[in-house]
């Protein structure tokens, strides 16, 4: 079983956030390198699928170590995975919602200018905060809300790239694009907070929950692989274009995914968003040294906003990382009146 939340120290939470940030930054840098150096680009859909498989295998290994013996490990798998179809269905929800999110994001990008897409898609940050308040019965102070929107603005500025003139005329449907981006933003907030609620609403091991989710994730990503690139994969092979660097990127994505679930378990989705923003800033700074990327005024201003928002959100406040049982009971009493 996972350690009780009361026994998780602040130092451990900080360690998880720091590792997740560093791994995410390293993943971004390595991904950029593979996309600029490899002559034969691999299929990104197959990489996502393999990442899910590796995360599943790592979770199985950690659960086996946590169980302490082969007998307990088998019993845990039989009870929580093979013998719990309802729990498997429950954990398939985030995988399906994320699949919808990715498709809606692609549809939005096809029907909106890149700059408009860049700005509107970052609304997933305040949307996650809103889902946290509504779904987990938490409260955020005015200062925390300000820091969330400040983070949103900072990420927009950090990732801002001026639109480039082009002679190619692309037919777009802005109404469809904004509708798709709205669905993508809502899916992003809902899926993350839904997974957090499942993790924190029972004493089931984090690694059992991961196994349940990654099993459905493999099925969903496999379907995506053959719907998106099926013909080319049949012609060139599933592992076409893979190099040692690509495998390294997949490994980083897998480790990052595991640390993300730990962060969600012991902190929350809002803190995960702050960690992801810090990773964007770190990876961009590293890209300046590795790839000769130029620092712009908008990036500098965005970095400042991200840093200030992290500081403001981290000021002493009421704990918002756990589901308060008293608040839930109070809400139930009100509903029963």
**pLDDT, tens only, 278-298:** 888 888 888 777 777 777 888
Contact criterion met (CB below 8 Å) for 48 and 99: no
User: Residue 44 — φ and ψ, nearest 5°?
Assistant: -65, -30
Contact criterion met (CB below 8 Å) for 63 and 207: yes
Q: Tens digit of pLDDT for each residue in 190-208?
A: 999 999 999 988 888 899 9
Number of domains in the chain: 1
Residue with tokens 């299929």: 43
Angle between the 10-37 and 244-266 helix axes, to the nearest 10 degrees? 150
pLDDT of 39 above 70 = no
What's the rounded mean pLDDT across residues 104-126? Answer: 83
Higher pLDDT, 318 or 140: 140
Cα gap 216→253, rounded to integer Å: 18
Q: Which two tokens stand for residue 322?
A: 């756990």
Highest-confidence segment of 111-115, 228-232, 322-326: 228-232
Residue 325 counted as domain residue: no
Determine what percent of the chain is predicted with pLDDT higher than 90: 27
Residue 268 counted as domain residue: yes
Residue 281 counted as domain residue: yes
State residue 316's pLDDT score.
Answer: 66
**Could you give the 3-state DSSP secondary structure of residue 336?**
helix
Higher pLDDT, 121 or 190: 190
- Does the predicted model carry a pTM greater than 0.85? no
pLDDT of 333 above 50 = no
Mean pLDDT, rounded, of the chain: 82
Cα gap 135→121, rounded to integer Å: 21
pLDDT of 161 above 80 = no
pLDDT of 319 above 70 = no
Question: pLDDT category, 136, cuts 50, 70, 90?
Answer: very high
Cα gap 331→337, rounded to integer Å: 10
Kindly report which listed range (37-46, 75-84, 180-189, 207-216) carries the lowest average pLDDT score. Answer: 37-46
State residue 62's pLDDT score.
Answer: 93
Residue 252 counted as domain residue: yes
Residue 323 counted as domain residue: no
User: Residue 280 — φ and ψ, nearest 5°?
Assistant: -60, -45
State residue 337's pLDDT score.
Answer: 45
Cα gap 23→28, rounded to integer Å: 9
State residue 6's pLDDT score.
Answer: 43
Domain enclosing residue 151, as ranges: 10-316
Of 285, 314, 283, 266, the C-alpha closest to 21 is 283
Residue 297 counted as domain residue: yes
Q: Which two tokens stand for residue 302?
A: 């965005």
pLDDT of 118 above 80 = no
Return the sign of the alpha-carbon dihedral for residues 317, 199, 213, 220: negative
Residue 111 counted as domain residue: yes
Q: How far apart are the first and last CA of the chain?
A: 37
Residue 18 counted as domain residue: yes
Cα gap 48→44, rounded to integer Å: 6
How far is Cα of residue 13 from the mean position of the Cα atoms in its chain?
17
Contact criterion met (CB below 8 Å) for 12 and 266: yes
Torsion of CA 31, 34, 40, 45, to 10 degrees: -20
Question: pLDDT category, 164, cuts 50, 70, 90?
Answer: low
What's the rounded mean pLDDT across residues 222-242? Answer: 88
């Amino acid at each position: 079983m996972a350690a009780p939340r009361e026994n998780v120290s602040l130092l451990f939470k900080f360690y998880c956030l720091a590792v997740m940030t560093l791994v995410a930054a390293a993943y971004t840098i390595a991904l950029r390198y593979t996309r600029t150096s490899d002559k034969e680009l691999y299929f990104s859909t197959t990489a996502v699928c393999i990442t899910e498989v590796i995360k599943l295998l790592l979770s199985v290994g950690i659960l086996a170590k946590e169980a302490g013996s082969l007998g307990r490990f088998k019993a845990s798998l039989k009870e929580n995975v093979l013998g719990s179809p309802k729990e498997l269905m429950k954990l398939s929800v985030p995988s399906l919602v994320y699949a919808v999110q990715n498709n809606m994001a692609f549809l939005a990008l096809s029907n909106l200018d890149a700059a408009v897409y860049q700005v509107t898609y970052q609304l997933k940050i305040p949307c996650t905060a809103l889902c946290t308040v509504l779904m987990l019965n938490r409260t955020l102070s005015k200062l925390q809300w300000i820091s969330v929107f400040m983070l949103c603005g900072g990420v927009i500025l950090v990732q801002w790239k001026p639109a480039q003139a082009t002679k190619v005329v692309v037919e777009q449907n802005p109404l469809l694009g904004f509708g798709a981006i709205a669905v993508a933003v809502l899916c992003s907030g809902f899926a993350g907070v839904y997974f957090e609620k499942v993790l924190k609403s029972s004493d089931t091991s984090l690694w059992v929950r991961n196994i349940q989710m990654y099993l459905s994730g493999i099925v969903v990503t496999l379907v995506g692989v053959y719907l998106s690139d099926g013909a080319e994969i049949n012609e060139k092979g599933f592992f076409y274009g893979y190099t040692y660097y690509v495998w390294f990127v997949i490994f980083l994505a897998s480790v990052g995914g595991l640390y993300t679930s730990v962060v969600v378990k012991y902190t929350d989705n809002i803190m995960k968003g702050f960690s992801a923003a810090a990773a964007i800033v770190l990876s961009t700074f590293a890209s300046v040294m590795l790839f000769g990327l130029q620092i712009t005024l908008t990036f500098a201003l965005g970095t400042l906003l991200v840093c200030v928002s992290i500081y403001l959100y981290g000021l002493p406040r009421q704990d918002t990382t756990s589901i308060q049982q008293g608040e839930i009971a109070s809400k139930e009493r009100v509903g029963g009146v």
